[in-house]
Amino acid sequence: MQTLVVVLPIFALIFAGWLVRRIGVLGPHATVELNRFVVFLALPALLFDIVASADWAELWQPGFVAAFGLGSAAVFVLTICLRLRGRYLADATIDGLNAAYANAGFIGFPLAVAIFGPAALAPTMIATILTACILFAVALILVEIGLAGERPSPNMLRTVALRFARSPLIVAPVLGAVVMASGVGLPGPVEHFVDLLGQAASPCALIALGLFLAEPRPTAEPVTRTTVLLGSLKLFGQPAATWLLAVEVFHLAPPLAATATLLAALPTGTGPFMVAELYGRESSVTSRVILGSTIASLATITPLLALVG
């Protein structure tokens, strides 16, 4: 019931986007424009706020960082290798995000606190930073390299470097890290502005997903088979890898190992969809993985928690 209560607002936001597109309140260009708002304004503010407000002392949990981070990285790299055959690196990278991008920020905090109490706040913040900042940044780098490889030029490295320097999704967490390291807090009005803008990221991304799902789009690949593969890697492969690392390799305390496993077992967040829309790649699989994994997580999270104790 806790899982259902936490994920119901997600379904409601996706349905709201679907409904307003179906009845014509928003037009066919709404998905692109709303996604651009998220990518260029709301999400950078959220990433900046997450990193800038983090407490280094609370984040210094190397065992948890290694278990969750390596579990995500293993599934991410494995998926890219599986999907790279006959496909572009940019598309395989987005598939890697589909299989490894846990929705720690939107679902993780309320669910982890409801199950494990306030002690889960710091690990969930670590998982959010590793997913939304580190994994996301690595994926953007690979997508840019892949796109540059599709259109090779003598100045490919310079072009990729300039795109990184201009990307708010890369610059924002870097600036947040500078603020965190300086120990100087943001002025009250600035902090409130960043917080308000960042809070719009997840709801708007979910509504954009609903807008996308409201329009039938042709796709060139078997959507159902790919969706099942990526969803299975996300809901079963990532928590299994994380649990093995947490228990057998890094010997985390049982509550911390269970928290890492729960966070790894969360469904796919909206990050992959935003990347796919931003770069104009195929979004049909990504949208279905997000929706399907969120629905399936209602049936997978509870028995998983029972298994890990």
Instruction: Render pLDDT for 71-88 as a digit per residue (tens, 0 to 9).
Output: 999 999 999 999 888 788
The DSSP bridge partners found for residue 268 are 102
Average pLDDT, the chain: 85
Please, which pLDDT band fits residue 158 given cuts at 50, 70 and 90?
A: low
List pLDDT tens digits, range 214-242: 877 665 557 788 899 999 999 999 999 99
Contact 94, 143 (CB under 8 A): yes
pLDDT of residue 26: 87
Contact 286, 98 (CB under 8 A): yes
pLDDT of residue 93: 93
Out of 8-12, 21-25, 236-240, the most confident range is 236-240
CATH fold label, 2-308:
Na+/H+ antiporter like fold (1.20.1530)
Least confident range from 86-95, 157-166, 188-197: namely: 157-166
Sign of torsion over alpha carbons 277, 289, 101, 19: positive
In this model, does residue 105 exceed pLDDT 80? no
Segment 100-125 mean pLDDT: 85
Segment 175-204 mean pLDDT: 86
In this model, does residue 2 exceed pLDDT 80? no
Contact 214, 30 (CB under 8 A): no
How many C-beta neighbours within 10 Å does residue 218 have?
Answer: 5
In this model, does residue 198 exceed pLDDT 60? yes
